[in-house]
Structure 1
Amino acid sequence: MEVSSTKGVLSHLSLLEVKARSRKTRHQQPSQIKELKAKVEALRIQRNQLRAQIETHKNLQKLRISMDTQCRNGEEEEKVEEEEMDQDSENSQLLRLMARHTQLKDLLAAHHIIGGYNITKASHGKGVCVSLTTAYEGIYLETYNMELNLRPKIRITRHNIPPFIPLNSLVEQGNMQMDVGDFLDSLSKHLNGFAGRKQQLKLVKELHKSVEVLESNVLCSILVLLLIVPKKKTAVLCTLTYTDHTRCLPTQVKFLCEADTELPDSPAWKKNCSLLMETPVHQALTAMRKTEAIV
């Protein structure tokens, strides 16, 4: 009897458990259906957003091609086919702004890649023209231009770089194909070094009338000056040599005085030698005049 009674209780408990699970399943079904509907709606919204993004991207590409073509042809007005896009609509105006924004971002990225040099498109988009501006003591001097063809490899097609600047050597030394920015930096240093030395020579002639320029070359890498010592009106020949063509300061200074052979080795003129090595020549001559080393 006991065994039968126990089995009856267990069967009853099992039946109750089945009924409870059934009720729980019925209660869960509406919430699961609601959750699935929400997921479907979210996916539908995501699909529509992706379609809109694809359409916007296509329109942006068309506008970018149109803008690039207009830039090459020098046109100012935007021309888009009316059947594809209404220019007076707010959406089309927004798209044009977005296209202009991406165009400016691309130009800014290119500007950053080449080290901040000013560039313009050339050869119908197949090349670029790079402008290299020189300056000395905060004054802008000459600007040089160089046209680079980008296809199939980077090469210089036209330029107005002075012939005494070792352009071919700089191309060979720097890997222009892999790092055009490094090549432009080296070239810019040579151009600014030359411009700085040339400007110093100009200032010497303008500021120091008593100093005679006996010799200088086109690269301004050699400068021979005739200096006059005040007391005995002794002439001193000063030769400045600039072996580092990227710099504006000389790498060697020599004095020659036939009337007083010991003068170049005197402490005062050794100090003048150091001054000319460390200071731009026009400023050094001004300092030498203040100490009455020269007239």
Structure 2
Amino acid sequence: MDPGKKEQEKDEKKDFSHGLLAHLEWLEFRARREAVDQEKRERREERREFLLSKIRELRERRHRLREKLGEAGKAGILRVPKDPDPPDPREVLEWKIRSCRDLIRIFRLTGISGNFSHSGISFSFHTSFEGSFLDSFQLEFQEFRHFRIRRHSIPPFIPLELLCRRFLPRNLREFLGILFQHLNAFVARREQLRQLQEEFSEFIQGIPSQNSLFNLLSFRYRIPGKIPGEFPEFRARLLYRDPLRSLPSDVTVTTPAGIAAPPEHSELFRSLSLAGAFRALRNPRNLPESPAGIG
């Protein structure tokens, strides 16, 4: 078979796979946007129902107070009305259960699912990257009053206790959303490194260095230069300051001699996944001439 025809078929398959990934990313984005819009509408409706019930309650109290004041005026005695009775604990518990069911329905499109049990409620966080589903993490609460955690499979470097102190028990929705962002960003950073080592092993020099959270990554790589047969070496250091994002905030790329690499290297690492950046870097036509000292 003609080598040129093989290369053309290979490029067409890559274009198809890239288009499919882009379509899957668009579908995921649309689902998340619809879930957010649905959540906003339900919040407005809940707020409206709460305010209407509060107005009705205040009007009834005002009516009762007027009646009591009128009776006291006729009798010549002013009686102080009693405070309203505290809410029934059973009614409060039922309200929390209904709220949890609503949360489960809202989060279903965003990668979070939930189930009720005889002892409480459990949530599953289904992470993904570029349209591919990856790890799932579990979190179980033992009761509804204070949402105490019974058991979980959240990695120890995720700030679970800090999030609990910050959001629970008052704001379960915010707690679940931010915890899912932590988990999804961690898995996405880890998956990027796996893809880099698997797809571009011939360009990576040695073994990349990373920490357990995958928010600090350093590696050495060689890419084709402008001159045929030239493969300059670079050293990259990527720091992810925002734990909720899968792209680095600080990128440093230099040569072994300490000379700064062309700025296109850093910009690609900041704006694309690691595999996407290397797909652009391995084509020397995308880059300017190598600076002096790179060999």
Normalising by structure 2, what TM-score? 0.56
2:194 aligned with 1:202, yes or no?
yes
Distance (Å, rounded) in 2 between the aligned partners of 1:276 and 1:107: 40
Please give the secondary structure, in 2, of the residue aligned with 1:220.
coil
- Over 3 Å counting, the alpha-carbon distance change for 1:258 and 1:181 in structure 2 is same
Say if 1:176 and 1:182, in contact at 8 Å, map to a contact too.
Answer: no
> Pick from 190, 213, 223: which aligns with 1:219?
213
What CA deviation, in whole Å up to 9, does each residue of 1:212-246 have, x standing for no partner? 34301121111111112545543211011111111
> Pick from 213, 234, 237: which aligns with 2:235?
237
For 1:72, the equivalent position in structure 2 comes to none
Distance (Å, rounded) in 1 between the aligned partners of 2:284 and 2:235: 18
1:152-167 matched pairs, under 5 angstroms: 152-167=145-160
Distance (Å, rounded) in 2 between the aligned partners of 1:257 and 1:283: 21
Distance (Å, rounded) in 1 between the aligned partners of 2:106 and 2:246: 27
Q: Which amino acid aligns with 1:120?
A: N
Distance (Å, rounded) in 1 between the aligned partners of 2:240 and 2:249: 5
Distance (Å, rounded) in 1 between the aligned partners of 2:256 and 2:274: 23
Say if 1:149 and 1:155, in contact at 8 Å, map to a contact too.
Answer: yes
> Pick from 161, 174, 177: which aligns with 1:168?
161
2:115 aligned with 1:109, yes or no?
no
What CA deviation, in whole Å up to 9, does each residue of 1:234-266 have, x standing for no partner? 32110111111111100010013233x4442xx
Looking at both structures, which has the greater relative contact order when contacts are Cα pairs under 8 Å and sequence separation is at least 6? 2
- Over 3 Å counting, the alpha-carbon distance change for 1:106 and 1:194 in structure 2 is closer
Shift in Å at residue 179 of structure 1?
1.4
Say if 1:217 and 1:223, in contact at 8 Å, map to a contact too.
Answer: yes
Q: Which amino acid aligns with 1:121?
A: F
What CA deviation, in whole Å up to 9, does each residue of 1:44-79 have, x standing for no partner? xxxxxxxxxxxxxxxxxxxxxxxxxxxxxxxxxxxx
In structure 1, runs of 5+ residues without a counterpart are 1-104
For 1:45, the equivalent position in structure 2 comes to none
2:251 aligned with 1:256, yes or no?
no
Say if 2:114 and 2:124, in contact at 8 Å, map to a contact too.
Answer: yes
For 2:81, the equivalent position in structure 1 comes to none
Say if 2:223 and 2:281, in contact at 8 Å, map to a contact too.
Answer: no
> Pick from 278, 282, 288: which aligns with 2:275?
282
What CA deviation, in whole Å up to 9, does each residue of 1:3-36 have, x standing for no partner? xxxxxxxxxxxxxxxxxxxxxxxxxxxxxxxxxx
Distance (Å, rounded) in 2 between the aligned partners of 1:192 and 1:152: 28
Please give the secondary structure, in 2, of the residue aligned with 1:237.
strand
Q: Which amino acid aligns with 1:220?
A: F
> Pick from 112, 128, 143: which aligns with 1:150?
143
Q: Give percent identity, aligned residues only.
A: 26
For 1:139, the equivalent position in structure 2 comes to 132
Distance (Å, rounded) in 1 between the aligned partners of 2:103 and 2:267: 44
Please give the secondary structure, in 2, of the residue aligned with 1:215.
strand
Distance (Å, rounded) in 2 between the aligned partners of 1:221 and 1:106: 35
Please give the secondary structure, in 2, of the residue aligned with 1:284.
helix
Q: Which amino acid aligns with 2:209?
A: E
Please give the secondary structure, in 2, of the residue aligned with 1:169.
helix
Distance (Å, rounded) in 2 between the aligned partners of 1:152 and 1:109: 17
Q: Which amino acid aligns with 1:172?
A: R
Distance (Å, rounded) in 1 between the aligned partners of 2:107 and 2:265: 41
Shift in Å at residue 120 of structure 1?
1.4
Structure showing greater radius of gyration is: 1
Say if 1:170 and 1:187, in contact at 8 Å, map to a contact too.
Answer: yes
- Over 3 Å counting, the alpha-carbon distance change for 1:280 and 1:106 in structure 2 is closer
In structure 2, runs of 5+ residues without a counterpart are 1-97, 291-295
> Pick from 149, 153, 178: which aligns with 2:170?
178
Q: Which amino acid aligns with 2:199?
A: L
Say if 1:114 and 1:180, in contact at 8 Å, map to a contact too.
Answer: no
Cα root mean square deviation, aligned: 2.6
- Over 3 Å counting, the alpha-carbon distance change for 1:200 and 1:110 in structure 2 is closer
- Over 3 Å counting, the alpha-carbon distance change for 1:145 and 1:233 in structure 2 is same
